[in-house]
Copies of this chain bind each other. A is one copy, B any other.
């Protein structure tokens, strides 16, 4: 019974370590997370950790990869389910704001990741998100829906504004009210991209 191939055991070990690390990094943060406590919580020792991930940073990379993959799936689902390109783009921005509000994503991907690993422009992380948004904007520009603008530049500006807005909301005393204000201002800025602005704020 329990005819488990070795590869599955290894995958499970890795998954448990990543899961424990994800929880620790997401709550107390990367710097405060102890490798001893982390591995113990996963029912393992630091030996397993260093065997699989090399060092603490390697573990962080693995965690970020996992979170980023989930983010990409969620974003794709949003943009694919939209009626037209423009609303799809807006929905994707809104979805990104909501994701950036989640403490785990905010802490691990948006703060500790860049601080520990260096800025994300090099590592694969977030490039998936950027690429997705860049493609959307490129299509919108080609279709003549928005003003001709460099797609990647626009995508990066939008993502920057989005992340900032999310952190602002997350730390506000009244997140609901601040969220409304941020979304309203955000829509104004996005309308600025349209060739025929709705001006329907």
Contact = CB atoms under 8 A, between A and B. Distances in A.
Given A163-B160, A188-B193, A192-B191, A153 B171 contact: no
Chain A contact residues (Cβ within 8 angstroms of B): what range? 35 or more
A154 B186 CA distance: 8
Contact of A149 (B150, B164, B185): B185
Interface in A107-148: 111-112, 114-116, 119, 121-122, 147-148
Complex copy number for this chain = 2
Interface string A154-173: 10111111111101101110
Nearest to A110: B114
Nearest to A172: B121
A153 B184 contact: yes
Closest 9 CB pairs of A and B: A192-B192, A160-B164, A115-B115, A153-B185, A121-B171, A157-B161, A161-B161, A160-B161, A153-B181
